[in-house]
Amino acid sequence: MLKLWRVAAYEYRRNVFKRSFILALLSVPLMIGLNVGIGLFMESSGDDGSPVGYVDHAGLLTNPIAAPVTGSRERIAFIPFQIENDARLALESGDIQAYYVLAADYYQTKDVSLFYLKEPGANATRQFYDFIQINLLADQPADLARRAVLIGENVTVRSMDGSREVPGGGPPFGIIMPILIGFAFLFLLLMSSGYLMQAVVDEKENRTMEMLATSVSPTQLVGGKVLGIIGVSFTQLIVWTLITILGIFIARSAGIDWFQDPRLDWGIILATVALAIPTYILASALMTAVGAMVTSAQESQSMGSVFFILHLAPLYLAWAIVRTPNGILPVALSFLPFTALLTVTLRNIFAAVPMWQIAVSVAIQTLCAIGALWLAGRAFRVGMLRYGKRLNLREILNWGGS
């Protein structure tokens, strides 16, 4: 056991202190942060804090009540005009970004016209809507009118079995989090596939393997290498998690609506992690086994994408999972190796996956991971005896049986 941990520690240090690992570790959060920053910039660039005018022929805004402004929004000033010509002159001179005209029969027709030279910002449109709404509720208690404006329409989308409720504006951060965790593990698998494949191939090519075999058993060597690479991947995951927490804190402080209610279902998150760990070990062991079976690094590199595509298979069947989350096909995919992780996370968005199904899936993935580790050790042992020759699965399974 001590030798296994020594191999794992060596493999961990050998990869963590590489320049390529540091670049990969930082590139992902930087890329995500850049994309989010661009998105926020594009959204904010569509806002305009200039005043907005209005002409009220209906008499609704004779004694206007200011609408509440939430989050980090800048309050827009609404300027009344008696006649449309004055509003038009103010628009042409640049004093206002646009002006609204409420028709005389507004109470019956809800007819409102918008005039502008350049399309007004989305913030101005939202705030004028709130401005109209709170004045329509002027005869109601002030706290009730304010709450109606702030909350707005409260539409809830409920699954057929009643186990999931999602706001009409889309799933909140807490529901999306488990599938983000699933994709994070798959992304780790993609990034670490090169390490896993070459963990054995390089030492076979430079014949270091022959010297290691004199002091370490094949099972200890393969197990140590897999544990070392898994440690590398979990280092990436921990760093990304800390950066994500920091990003959520910054987003909440900035008033971004989607992050204002970060309530998490820890039961689902723990179930996702419990399923992701044996799934990752299974794929890692199989890729290490492939590295022991092939004769060159070029052959191993072409196999890494195959495992990643297998894990993404549920996305191609997402229509069936969304329509019937507890149907026969989604349940079957929840138990199969490679497809279980994404299937369970997708199902959990639209329905509550029974805990017994998650427990069975975790047990299946764990047994498969143990079998994959055994296969990797056996492939390594046979590969040493058949040095320089490409192995196939039948040769590995039949070795020692005849």
> Which contacts qualify for 269-273: CB closer than 8 Å, 24 or more apart?
269/177, 269/178, 269/181, 271/178, 271/344, 271/353, 271/355, 271/358, 272/178, 272/181, 272/182, 272/341, 272/344, 272/345, 272/348, 273/181
pLDDT at 392 over 90: no
The whole-number pLDDT of residue 54 equals: 94
Full-prediction pTM beyond 0.75? no
Q: What's the mean pLDDT in 64-77?
A: 76
Closest by Cα among 185, 159, 170, 150 to 308:
185
The whole-number pLDDT of residue 115 equals: 93
Closest by Cα among 156, 141, 132 to 52:
132
Q: Based on the number of CB atoms within 10 Å of its own CB, is 304 exposed (0-12), middle (13-18) or buried (19 or more)?
A: buried
Q: Based on the number of CB atoms within 10 Å of its own CB, is 173 exposed (0-12), middle (13-18) or buried (19 or more)?
A: middle
Q: What's the mean pLDDT in 173-188?
A: 75
- Residue 121 DSSP code: P
- Residue 119 DSSP code: P
Which region holds residue 114: left if phi is over 0, alpha if psi is between -120 and 50, else beta? beta
| Cβ neighbours for 226, distance < 8 A, ≥ 6 positions apart | 196, 199, 281, 284, 285, 288, 373, 376
Separation of alpha carbons 218 and 2, rounded Å: 14
% of residues, the chain, pLDDT over 70 = 69
Q: Based on the number of CB atoms within 10 Å of its own CB, is 171 exposed (0-12), middle (13-18) or buried (19 or more)?
A: middle
The whole-number pLDDT of residue 402 equals: 43
The whole-number pLDDT of residue 112 equals: 92
Q: What's the mean pLDDT in 93-103?
A: 93
Radius of gyration of the chain (CA): 30
Q: What's the mean pLDDT in 315-330?
A: 86
Confidence of residue 165 (pLDDT cuts 50, 70, 90): low
Highest-scoring range by mean pLDDT, 269-273, 339-343, 393-397? 339-343
Separation of alpha carbons 277 and 89, rounded Å: 66
Highest-scoring range by mean pLDDT, 72-81, 87-96, 190-199, 259-268? 87-96
Q: Which domains does the chain have, with CATH numbers?
A: 2-34+162-398 (no CATH), 52-152 (3.40.190)
Strand partners, 166: 157
H/E element holding 56?
Answer: strand 52-56
Confidence of residue 389 (pLDDT cuts 50, 70, 90): low
CA 191 from centroid of its chain's CA atoms:
16
Q: β-pairing, 78-81 with 112-115?
A: unpaired
Which region holds residue 282: left if phi is over 0, alpha if psi is between -120 and 50, else beta? alpha
